[in-house]
Structure 1
C-alpha cells in the first residue's frame, strides 16, 4: 500500500509557517508524506531568448529562496516529503496537484501573500475550498 500524502500549500507568508507545523503534526499522526506545494509567478510567454531564460532563472531563484526555510524545517523534522513548484494560478493548481498525487488532505493558510486581484475575485483559499476533491484544512 502506498504511503498517504498530505499537501501543504505555502506562499512564504506567516501563515505558511503555521501550515507547515500543522502538516508535520498530521503527517506524524497519519504516517504520511508531505507534498510541499509552492506556486510561483507565471513564466513570460512572449519574450524571446535570452531574455525569457533570464526571467525564468530569476523566478526559480526567488522560488528556491522562498521555499528554502520550509525545506530545511521539513528535513529537520524527519518527515518524508516531496516538493512541487508550479506556475500560478495557485487556486486551481493546488487542488489539481493534490488530486493527481492522490493526497488525502490539503493544508493551507486562511490568508497569504496575494495581490489586489485576490481581493476582487476571491482568495486562493476560497477557490481551493470549492474545487478540491479532498478535505481542506484551513490554518489561521
Structure 2
C-alpha cells in the first residue's frame, strides 16, 4: 500500500505532538510527505468591524504559531511537509483537506475519552472515523514510541 501523503491533525496538544512523532516514523519508513493541518474556528458572520477582523487575524496567527513545533520536528527528521491552516470545524476541515490533497491516511492524537463524554463534548477523532474517505489512525498518549526526537 503506497503512503505518499500523511495528513497530520496538529492542534498543539500533547496528544497531537505524540501523534506527530508517530507520523514522522511512518513518513520516514514510506518516504511520505506530511500535510500539517491546524484549524481554528472563526465566526460564520463576516463583518467590516475592525474588532472582528483583529480577532480573525489573531486566531490565524495563533494557529500558525502552533504549527511551528510540528514543522521543526519534521525538519529535524528530514521529512518533507506542507502547511494548511483552515477556518472551520476540525473534523470537516481535516476530512475535506485529506480528500482534496489525496492523503493516504490521517493521523490524529486521541484523548481517549469515553463514548459518553465524546458524544457530549464532541470528538474530532470520532467524527473523522465517520466522514473521512481515507483511513484514520488515532494515537493515544499512552502509546509508546521511542524513535522520533
TM bucket (normalised to shorter chain) is 0.7 to 0.9
User: How big is each residue's C-alpha offset from its partner over 1:59-91, in whole Å with a ceiling of 9 and x where there is no partner?
Assistant: 122112222111111121110000111112011
- TM, length-normalised to structure 2: 0.81
Residue 11 (structure 2) aligns with: 11
TM-score (norm 1): 0.86
Aligned to 1:59: 59
Counterparts of residues 1-140 of structure 1 (less than 5 Å) = 4-43=4-43, 45-111=45-111, 119-120=119-120, 122-140=122-140
SS in structure 2 opposite 1:53?
helix
Distance in 1 of aligned mates of 2:43 and 2:30: 36
SS at structure 2 position matched to 1:21: helix
RMSD: 2.1
Measure how far apart 1:44 and its partner are: 5.8
1:52 Cα offset (Å): 2.7
SS of residue matched to 1:42: coil
Q: CA deviation at 1:54?
A: 1.2
5+ residue gaps in structure 1? none
- Whether contact under 8 Å (2:37, 2:83) holds in the other structure is yes
Structure 2: tracts of 5 or more residues without a match:
141-149
Q: For residues 43 and 118 of structure 1, what CA distance do their matches in structure 2 show? A: 23
Q: Find runs of 4+ consecutive structure 1 residues off by over 6 angstroms.
A: none
CA distance in 2, matches of 1:44, 1:52: 11
